[in-house]
């Protein structure tokens, strides 16, 4: 038996049986001095163990060289692992930046176009709600023309902050272009989207922007996914509702 250290000690202290064998191993490594091993093949629990002790050690120079190479390899492996982590983080940052609008902090149109068909297909498959809010800043061009692009940028940045504050983790808001923002709201009914739109309208109405000393207002169009409708069709209906809101003077929302 070789089940533990004590059994192994007893087994080794026994005289060799017919199933055991002792011999010497001579190992030669290039021009280094040969190494001699006193070896014993020991039958143990139906298997064989090869036990050996080194009689002649390699010279100190060779041992030091092995130690140096091992240390160099260890350092190289750690450095490579660190570079791989840095590269992975850099790639993740680049990928994130490619989908984020730098001014508003919202997703960009590319992200919306990737997410919209997937969410529409999912809502249709599971018979779940999906709503869209299309947001547009009222009289945005005069803001830029009269007060400059810095004022316009501040309006958009503040709008992005307000919209993000109304989103749950699985919802998406994307800058569609210029001063237009699209909110994609999985699991939200038309009535739920109306409540969100009203909160956004109220918070925008009390914005204080030093570069623009007038009241900021937004118009919005709301649409809920119809049976079998595509994501593009949903956004198009919300866009139509938005322009009805703007046609009625703005600072309001219309429902498709």
Query: What is the reported pLDDT for 139?
Result: 94
Q: Bigger pLDDT: 223 or 177? A: 223
Question: What is the average pLDDT across 115-119?
Answer: 97
Average pLDDT over all residues of the chain: 83
Query: What is the reported pLDDT for 16?
Result: 55
Q: Bigger pLDDT: 68 or 203? A: 203
Q: Are 238 and 222 in contact (CB under 8 A)?
A: yes
Q: How many CB atoms lie within 10 A of CB 237?
A: 21
Q: Bigger pLDDT: 189 or 47? A: 189
Q: Are 39 and 25 in contact (CB under 8 A)?
A: yes
The conformation of residue 187, written as its DSSP 8-state character, comes to T
Tokens of 193: 């989207």
Query: What is the reported pLDDT for 167?
Result: 94
Query: What is the reported pLDDT for 53?
Result: 55
Query: What is the reported pLDDT for 56?
Result: 47
Query: What is the reported pLDDT for 21?
Result: 55
Specify which of 37-46, 63-72, 106-115 reaches the highest per-range mean pLDDT.
106-115
Question: What is the average pLDDT across 204-215?
Answer: 92
Least confident of 59-68, 70-79, 108-117: 59-68
* pLDDT tens for each residue of 144-168: 999 999 999 999 999 999 999 999 9
Alpha helices in the chain (DSSP H): 5-13, 60-97, 109-126, 140-147, 149-165, 190-205, 231-247
Number of residues assigned to the chain: 256
pTM > 0.75? no
Which band of pLDDT confidence, cut at 50, 70 and 90, is reported for residue 87? confident
SS3 33: coil
């Amino acid at each position: 038996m070789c089940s533990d250290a004590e059994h192994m000690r007893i087994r080794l202290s026994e005289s060799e049986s017919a199933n055991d064998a002792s011999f010497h191993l001579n190992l030669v490594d290039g021009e280094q001095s040969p190494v001699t091993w006193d070896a014993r093949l020991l039958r143990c629990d139906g298997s064989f163990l090869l036990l050996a002790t080194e009689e002649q050690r390699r010279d100190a120079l060779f041992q030091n060289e092995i130690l140096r190479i091992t240390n160099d390899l260890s350092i190289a492996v750690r450095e490579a692992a660190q570079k791989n982590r840095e590269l992975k983080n850099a790639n993740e940052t680049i990928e994130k930046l490619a989908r984020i609008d730098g001014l508003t902090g919202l997703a960009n149109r590319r992200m919306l176009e990737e997410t919209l068909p997937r969410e529409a297909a999912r809502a249709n498959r599971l018979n779940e709600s999906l709503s869209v809010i299309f947001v547009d800043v009222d009289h945005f061009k005069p803001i830029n023309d009269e007060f400059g692009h810095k004022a316009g940028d501040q309006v958009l940045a503040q709008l992005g902050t307000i919209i993000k504050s109304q989103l749950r983790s699985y919802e998406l808001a994307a800058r569609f272009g210029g001063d237009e923002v699209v909110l994609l709201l999985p699991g939200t009914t038309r009535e739920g989207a109306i409540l969100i739109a009203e909160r956004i309208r109220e918070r925008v109405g009390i914005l204080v922007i030093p570069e623009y000393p007038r009241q900021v207002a937004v118009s919005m169009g709301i649409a809920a996914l119809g049976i079998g409708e595509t994501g593009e069709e949903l956004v198009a209906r919300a866009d139509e509702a938005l322009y009805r809101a703007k046609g009625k003077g703005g600072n309001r929302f219309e429902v498709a």
